[in-house]
Chains A and B, each alone.
Chain A
Amino acid sequence: MASSISSAAITDGDFLAGSPYPVALLGPDGRILHASDRARRLLADRDGTPGWLRRAHLALPDDGPRPRPVRHTDPMAGPVEAHPTRRPDGSAVWWFVSREDRPAGPSPADGGGPHDWELLARLSGLLLSSLNADRVLETAARQAALHLADAAVLVAPGSGRVLRLVTCLRGADPAHAQVRADPAEVPGLAEALRGFPPVPSRWIDPGAAPHWLVPDGFGRVGSVLVTPLPGHGVPAGALVLLRTPAAGPFDPAEESFARMFAVRAGAAVSAAVMYSEQAAVTDLLMRELLPPRLEHLDGVDFAGGYRASGDRDRIGGDFYDVHPAAEPGGETLALLGDVSGKGLEAAVMTGKVRNTLHALLPLADDHQRVLHLLNRALLTSRHTRFASLVLASVRREDDRVRVRLSAAGHPAPMVVRADGRVTESTTLGSIVGVLPEATTRTDTVLLDPGEACVLYSDGITEAKGGPTGREQFGDHRLRRALAECAGLPAEAIVERVQMLAAQWLRENRHDDMAVMVIAAPPRGHVPVIGRQRGLPE
């Protein structure tokens, strides 16, 4: 049997070799017995049959109607149709037709053809689909191994004495590794990491490739290509391509294609690295600017909630803080405010207001003076950005809570009485940060057990939505909502107000929204002994 196949193969081989179109003869077991030169290149195959073809071949029925062609998308030649012709001995001849019924075309390695650019465009798309540096490195390794070599190794940028590598065998998953090694062990790598132009592959002795560079299971290295990943003005690492001896050396066209790929991979990697550095900076800033979590303090309940204008930004122009009294029985200073505008610029001024107020705490019993000094500290000739806020000095007196309120250009807080009445504090004052002088009129409110004082930003009352999508939530709806909150714990009032505002808004754009509730605990409620500071989240 074996001899009959081999004698047939010789005939077939002679017959096939000269075929102008890619054609291959596969034996019953799926091995390639013979293939035309074009087929060999199309299948990009050294020794074995590509998996897709072997599977299709073994699945061919023994008899019946003519089998349907098998479609496969080749990374280089694009979509390929493989048409089988069965032979009685179990072997089959496979004819390959690439897109547009052209003969399966030249590989990009042949240089200059339209396939180069199509592939490059596709690869660029893949590389730019993530802003996570690790993902980009993985994609680059996976695609480089698939299209340019038998294995790819990406040396991550900024590697010091420890090299961070992403390695990938053709068709396998990329793996991350860290090795303590000198890049100079690989000819051209140290230069590539510094951004120098690559050395031609033929100058690199494949035998010199150190073991840490070669992925497990790769075998002997036939050729090595090292190319830098140029980033935005700084090297973004290096790409090392490895081929087995059977795959042959990199020709100049392949080297230039690898370099074009490296340019795109480098741009994608450095964009991702820059993005993650900025994200880290923003994260650091935000941690300082986020409002604190509020709790029970000196026999008074505090609760706060905040929703930034863009759901993507967690910080913005609204802020609140609670500063516990310096000594037992003293006044706790709570404050809630709003800086004109939104986003990071507003957040920076927010930080300034909060820090200044923190420094002015020793003067907190004189609201007028605090606002006057804050106004001076914020006043600048550069812009007319301003802040509005409410100061609330809170002290428990027996089972009641006394709240001194001073508004500075801010909506007056609302007071929720035990019987469901909602009144507005009479405090009124001017904004801070832009006028020559800041003035305020302080109002004192006494809360009985179960009563609450609600500080809010105009993002709540000016939330546009409702049935028409354009109506403001308004004072009256807030008032009505609060009337139903009589006797509720501080936390529950905050959640109720936030929920109603969110329902009102639905998908609409909105300003920052902040709400803080200061409540006298209901009778019978045992206050926590000692006190807890409001801790940042």
Chain B
Amino acid sequence: MSAHPVPPPGPAAPHRAVTVRVEGELDHESCEELVRAVAAHLAAQPPYQVVRVDCAAMSLCDSMGLSALLQIRRDTDAAGRRLLLEHRPAHLDRLLRLTGTAAYLLADRAP
């Protein structure tokens, strides 16, 4: 997982964004790392308005992984920021559909 801060275009940038890339299996071993990384970005100053999670290289997401996604959604909502799960592989979409979490996790609640 690596973060690529996108530098703000100007001093008054309204939408500072950060991307967290998830690579490999999002399971009980890696889920804590994702939650911590997102929490760190939410605490950053000046604040990021948008947290993007790039799922393109996610090979698996188990129930603990889903639990982590729900946690970062809760955290970004609480901080009043946007969370975008991008480049979702088919297995992740299938998991979100089966668990009925797609609407909640993918809703774009713009701040």
Contacts and interface: CB of A to CB of B under 8 A. Distances in A.
Interface of A: 317, 338, 340-342, 383-386, 388, 408-411, 428-431, 434-436, 438-439, 458, 462, 511
Contact of B74 (A384, A439, A462): A384
B28 A386 contact: no
Identify whether the interface residues of A are mostly helix, strand, loop, or mixed: loop
Contact of B99 (A317, A385, A430, A436): A430
A146 B109 CA distance: 76
B11 interface: no
Q: Which of B28, B63, B70 gathers most chain A CB within 10 Å? A: B63
Contacts of B71: 383-384
B64 A409 contact: no
A386 B98 contact: no
28 contacts: A317-B63, A338-B63, A340-B63, A340-B64, A341-B63, A341-B64, A341-B67, A383-B67, A383-B71, A384-B70, A384-B74, A385-B67, A386-B66, A386-B70, A388-B63, A388-B99, A408-B100, A409-B99, A409-B100, A410-B98, A428-B100, A430-B101, A431-B99, A431-B101, A434-B67, A435-B100, A435-B101, A462-B62
Contacts of A458: 63
Contacts of B99: 388, 409, 430-431
A386 B65 CA distance: 11
Interface residues of B, number: 15
A430 B100 contact: yes
Contacts of B68: 384
Given A341-B28, A409-B99, A411-B98, A386 B67 contact: yes
Contacts of B70: 384, 386, 434-435
A511 B104 CA distance: 26
A340 B98 contact: no
Contacts of A386: 63, 66-67, 70
Interface of B: 28, 62-64, 66-68, 70-71, 74, 98-101, 104
B111 to A, nearest CB: 19
Nearest to A386: B67
A243 B98 CA distance: 74
A376 to B, nearest CB: 16
A409 B67 contact: no
B100 A429 contact: yes
A437 to B, nearest CB: 9
A430 B66 CA distance: 13
A409 B104 contact: no
Given A341-B28, A341-B67, A428-B98, 17 more contacts: A317-B63, A340-B64, A340-B66, A341-B63, A383-B67, A384-B68, A384-B70, A384-B71, A388-B63, A409-B98, A410-B98, A411-B98, A428-B100, A429-B100, A434-B67, A438-B100, A511-B62
A408 B99 CA distance: 7
Contacts of B28: 341-342
A113 B8 CA distance: 72
A56 B104 CA distance: 84
Contacts of A435: 70, 100-101, 104
A428 B99 CA distance: 8
Contacts of B66: 340, 386
Contacts of A383: 67, 71
A305 B74 CA distance: 35
Contacts of A388: 63, 99
A383 B74 CA distance: 10
A458 B104 CA distance: 22
B17 to A, nearest CB: 24
A410 B64 CA distance: 15
A26 to B, nearest CB: 67
Given A384-B70, A384-B74, A431 B64 contact: no
Q: Which of B67, B68, B74, B99 gathers most chain A CB within 10 Å? A: B99
Contacts of A434: 67, 70
A408 B100 CA distance: 8
